[in-house]
Amino acid sequence: MKPLKIGILGLGTVGGGTFDVLTRNGNEISRRAGRDIQIVAVGARNPERAIKRMSGVAIPVMSLEQTVASPDVDVIVETLGGYEPAKSLILKAIANGKHVVTANKALLAMHGDEIFSAARAKGMIVAFEAAVAGGIPIIKALREGLVANRIEWIAGIINGTTNFILSEMRSKGLPFETVLADAQAKGYAEADPTFDIEGIDAGHKVSILAAIAFGIPLSFEKAHVEGITKIQAQDIRYAEEMGYRIKLLGIARRRENGIELRVHPTLIPAKRLIANVEGVMNAVLVKGDAAGATLYYGPGAGATATASAVIADLVDVARLIDADASHRVPYLAFHHDRIGTEPVLAIDEVQTSYYLRLRVDDKPGVLADITRILADNHLSIDALLQKEPDEGEAQTDIILLTHETVEKNVRRAIAAIEALATTRAKVVLLRLENLA
C-alpha cells in the first residue's frame, strides 16, 4: 500500500518527539498501520534549528505556508500550539484537502467548531488525541471504548504543572512561587504559565472531554475556571489532617438541570487512587453507567509521551484514509446533527461539598452563631476541626466540611459569617468531591 505522507508544522517538543518516535519505531508502526508513515516535509519558522534537530536525516524543510500547500503531503501534523498561525494553517491545510492531526487543546477548545465544520465540509479527518492528557489515550477511550455508556461524570488531573506544584507544596512544605520556578526550569509549564496555574489549560482540556462525553458543544467560555494561585500551605495541611488531598481537578458532571463544567482546586479523599497521582502525572476518572468507574493514568506531557498520541492518530488516518467519511468516528464522538442542548450550569447552581476555613475570635458563642447561619442556609456539617490558638492569640481557625449542597447556599452562608463581628478574615472556600 502506498505510504501515508505527513508534513510536521514545528519541530519543538511535540513535533521533535513525533519525529524521533516515527524514526525509531517506523517499522513496527508500519506493520500495525498496514503502510509506511513517511515524513515528507517539515515546516519551520527557523529552518536551521529544524535541520539541526533532525541530525542528518534529509527531509525537506520549508516554510509553514509551503508545508500546508505541498501537494506531496496527505496529513498535516500541527504541533505549533497557540491560536495563530496554527488556526489559519489548519484551515488552509483542510481547504487544500489534507487531513490534520493536532495537539492543540487551546485552539480546539476555542475554535474547534469552526475547524470541525470546515473539515466535515471537505471530508477531512481532524484528530487530536494528543490535545488532552498527553500520552493517555483518553479521547480514544471516551469516543470508542466507552461508547455504550451514558457518561455520568469525569474528574481529571489534566494539568501536570499544577499537579507537580501541589505535590511539592504538600510533600516538601515549599511555597507556591519556589515550586513554580522549578516547574518552569524543568520545562513542564506552558509558554505562558498563567495558562497552567490559573486553570485555563485544564479548562480547555475538560471542555473537550465534556463535549465528547455528553455530546454537547465545546463550551470553554461557559466553564468555571479557578487555578491554584490562592492555595495556602495551611489549607494543604488542614486537608491532610482531615484525610484529604488538594488536587486541581477538571470536572464535568451531568445533572438533571444541565452540565457542570468546572476547574478548581478540590479536596479528594486521600485513599482514592487518583489522590495519589503525584508530580507531573495525569489521571482521568470516568464514571459510566455501564462500565462503572474507570481510571486512566499516565504522563500528561513530554516529547515522546505526546508523540505516542500523535502517532496513534496518524495510524488511525492511515487505516481510514481510503474509507468513506461516513465510516469514521465523529470528531466529538456524537453525530454533529445530534448534539445536545443541555445548558452548562452557572457555578452558583453547582452541587458539591465544601471545605470552609474561618478565622474567628476564640470565645463563647462564636461557634453557635456560625452553626445557626449554616442551618439557616440548609448547610449540613460533615466534619469540624477547631485548631488550638497559637500561644497568646485570641483568634483561631475553624475548618468545616459540609455535606453536598448547592453553591449559592454556601455563598449566602459565607456572606453572613463574614458579617459577624467575631469573624476576623475572609472565609476560605474550597470544593470537595468524594468521587465515590
Considering the complex, what minimum distance in angstroms separates the CB of residue 436 from ligand HSE? Answer: 26
**What's the distance, CA 178 to chain centroid?**
23
User: Locate cell 456572606: which residue?
Assistant: 415
Considering the complex, what minimum distance in angstroms separates the CB of residue 77 from ligand HSE? Answer: 16
Give, in order, the Cα–Cα distances in Å from 268 to each of 239, 263, 312, 340, 432: 9, 14, 32, 30, 6
Question: CA 212, CA 145: separation in Å to the nearest integer?
Answer: 12
Instruction: List CB contacts of 129: < 8 A, sequence separation 6 or more.
Output: 137, 139, 140, 309, 310, 312, 313
Q: Is 172 a catalytic residue?
A: no
Give whichever of 61 and 311 is closer to ligand HSE, judged by the CB atom: 311
Residue 97 identity: G
268-199-278-427 Cα dihedral, nearest 10 degrees = -40
Residue among 111, 317, 128 nearest 218 (CA): 111
Question: CA 83, CA 191: separation in Å to the nearest integer?
Answer: 13
Residue 321 identity: I
Considering the complex, what minimum distance in angstroms separates the CB of residue 281 from ligand HSE? Answer: 10
Binding site residues, ligand HSE, CB under 6 A: 134, 159-161, 188-190, 196, 201, 300-301
| Catalytic hit among 87, 98, 105, 205 | 205
Question: CA 308, CA 302: separation in Å to the nearest integer?
Answer: 10
- Angle among Cα 426, 432, 434 to the nearest 5 degrees reads 165
Question: CA 91, CA 85: separation in Å to the nearest integer?
Answer: 10
Residue 351 identity: Q
Considering the complex, what minimum distance in angstroms separates the CB of residue 268 from ligand HSE? Answer: 18
Catalytic positions? 205
